[in-house]
Amino acid sequence: MKQLSLDNLRTFVTVVEQGGFAKAGDLLGRSQPAVSLQIKKLEEQLGRRLFTKLGQRQVVNQDGKTLLNYAKKMLNLNDDVFRQFEQSSLRGRLRLGIPSEFATTLLPSIIGEFSKQYPDVALEVTSALSRNLLDDSKRSDFDLVLALVPPSQPTEGELVLEDDLVWVGDPTRPFSRTNVFLVLAPDGCVYRSRVIEMLKQQTIAWRITYTNADLYGLIAAIQQGLGVTALARTSVPSSLSIIRNPSLPTLGKIKICLFNQDTQHPQISAKLSEFIMARLKNSA
């Protein structure tokens, strides 16, 4: 009897969801030829083409869409089996440190699903500036830390992705081309440091109109017309929009890293790390 490879199916689903063979390979840690070979084996087993070439892109066709529905069900069932047997061994408390902007945009999509799959794990979340989360005097307070690190700064953490720093504002508010009003987090914030550094190299006038360490406070100020801010692209909330204006300097990149220092519950930390990495990479 013929049997489909779950590994090949997972690669197929990833290709469709990521929109390309190369992106799927990056996420799965495989070369593009290896991904293409897995898709070819699926097509040979089924006797159907799953993608249609459109220009330089491979676009999933109707047969591919039909398989996608079955593949997701099969993978979910497979994962449910493993989660069911893992749940009994995953219990305890996990202390997570995370910047407030990611706590606002990332955690809501993680906590519910993670808690459902691992109900015996108690998550204790603290939001703070990356500098504070990584301070030597605070490191022992956390088992897992998600933090922002300047690209030039070496780090012992695991790099999740290098993200773009972007200008962010309220799309309904007019933007001044002659004077930049800034809504920023306090001193020590990597966004604040980068914004001020880049603006000092420009001739455009600027000033800070509002300071708040919490993203909700910054959003409220921006929506009241107090100014604009800067965020990592993956942390931009749906209520705000990226500003593309040639009068504003390019802010460059920022590293998003995970620091796993949980020695008591390494399995729990590893599982939550997987959740966080998957969400960030999918939203990049």
Q: Are 42 and 68 in contact (CB under 8 A)?
A: no
Ordered by where they begin, the domains of the chain are 6-86 (1.10.10.10), 92-157+260-283 (3.40.190.10), 163-254 (3.40.190.10)
Q: From first to last of its 284 residues, what are the pLDDT tens digits of the chain?
A: 688 899 999 999 999 988 888 888 887 888 888 889 999 999 999 999 999 988 878 889 999 999 999 999 998 888 878 766 765 556 778 899 999 888 888 888 787 778 877 788 888 899 988 988 988 888 788 999 999 998 888 778 888 889 999 999 998 888 777 789 999 999 989 999 999 999 999 888 999 999 998 889 999 999 999 999 999 999 998 889 999 888 899 999 999 999 987 667 777 788 888 888 888 876 66
Q: Say what the pLDDT of residue 272 is.
A: 86
**Nearest CA among 208, 173, 216 for reference residue 192:** 208
Could you report the per-residue pLDDT of 119-173, keeping only the tens digit for each?
A: 888 888 999 889 889 888 887 889 999 999 988 887 788 888 899 999 999 988 8
What's this model's pTM, rounded to 2 decimal places? 0.66
Tokens 């800034």 correspond to what residue?
182
**Nearest CA among 254, 258, 256, 257 for reference residue 272:** 258
**Nearest CA among 128, 101, 144 for reference residue 234:** 101
**Nearest CA among 100, 98, 101 for reference residue 240:** 101
- Residue 14 and residue 163: Cα distance in Å, rounded? 21
- Residue 121 and residue 208: Cα distance in Å, rounded? 42
